[in-house]
Amino acid sequence: MFRLKLVPVGTNINFIKYSKYFITTAITLIVLCISFISFKGLNYGIDFKGGYIFEVTMPKTPDIAQMRKDLGNLELGSVSIQQFGGEKDLLIKLEKSEEGGGQAIAIQKVKDSLGKNIIYKRVETVGPKVGEELVGNAIKAVVFALLAMLLYIIVRFEWQFGLCAITALFHDCIVIFGMFSIFPWEFSETSITAILLTASYSINDIVVIFDRIRENLKKYRTLSIPEIINKSLNETLSRTVLTATTTLLSMVALYLFGGKVIASLALPMMVGIIVGTITSTCIAAPLLTFLNLKPRENKKIDTSVPQI
């Protein structure tokens, strides 16, 4: 029976040898991303800048691509259209634009473009103040998620593992935030979802690697900490690469064939998967060598995670 192996059996990469280069690169990326965010800012979408929200039911199944084109021709700002419930139910978001006239004029233009026999379930105007609240809530969501993951790692492992894990996750989140500043990607509520999913993916990888390190700390008492970390990383490398590859392929498919709304989620997640995989392997585990990690002979080993 054919078995796919992206990493050859017996691979023995000395990750610790190059850890200083990995960590230096990670610090450089963090500084670069924070600099872009501070000076350039983020390209906020409708959810954060404010605009108009229409929840409508169309008389027949709509051509969303054509609708997006027609509403774009109104020059009211960027347009977001997605199905909301049934095939005929749509959620339409338009960015506020000074060129679009007043609120009443802009709303009437949209209604004229959509046509007749349309049921308007909701028509709302989102102001900049609401956008500021959304930005604050988004930052809180990311911070609280990181703190919850830190607590989980500390309870399950030791404080050294928790500190390394949260450092790696902080790096991943800052890099994704930075991508929205460096590139002309629209930052919306979907972007926050992508960042949280990236953190979840990365912590899963980190937990598997840390669990193997903990087992090997108990098993190989004569090896040094760098040797144990290298051994653990090479033992889990096949699983890490295979998981990253299959997940990345699914994101590529969503990006290419999922439509504009799904693509806005898939693109940052593709970057997040690549960054998270590199971080969990090349940064999170090697950082343990700087924290005086030692085997705990009298500590009961949790074997709930299956062998790989």
Q: pLDDT digits over 239-255, tens only?
A: 888 889 999 999 999 88
Answer yes or no: do 202 and 251 share one domain.
yes
* 34 lies in the same domain as 64: no
**What's the pLDDT at 305?**
46
Same domain, yes or no: 197 and 262: yes
In a domain, 8, yes or no: no
Q: What CA–CA distance (Å, rounded) separates 108 from 121?
A: 15
Residue bearing tokens 């998270």 = 276
Number of domains in the chain: 2
Range of the domain at 143: 16-42+130-290
Query: What pLDDT shows up at residue 68?
Result: 81
Range with lowest mean pLDDT among 36-40, 111-115, 298-302: 298-302
pTM for the whole structure: 0.74
**121-152 pLDDT per residue, tens:** 887 777 666 566 777 777 787 788 878 877 88
Residue 169 belongs to domain with CATH number: 1.20.1640.10
Structure confidence at residue 48 (pLDDT): 72
Please check whether residues 106 and 65 belong to one and the same domain.
yes
| 6: amino acid identity, one letter | L
Residue pair 51/126 in contact (Cβ under 8 Å)? The answer is: yes
Residues 8-30: tens digit of each pLDDT: 667 788 888 888 899 999 999 99
- In one letter, which amino acid is 301? I
State yes or no: pLDDT of 307 exceeds 50. no
* SS3 state at 215: helix
For residues 102 and 157, state if they share a domain: no
Exposure string for 157-176, b = 16+ CB within 10 A, e = fewer = bbebbbbbbbbbbbbbbbbb
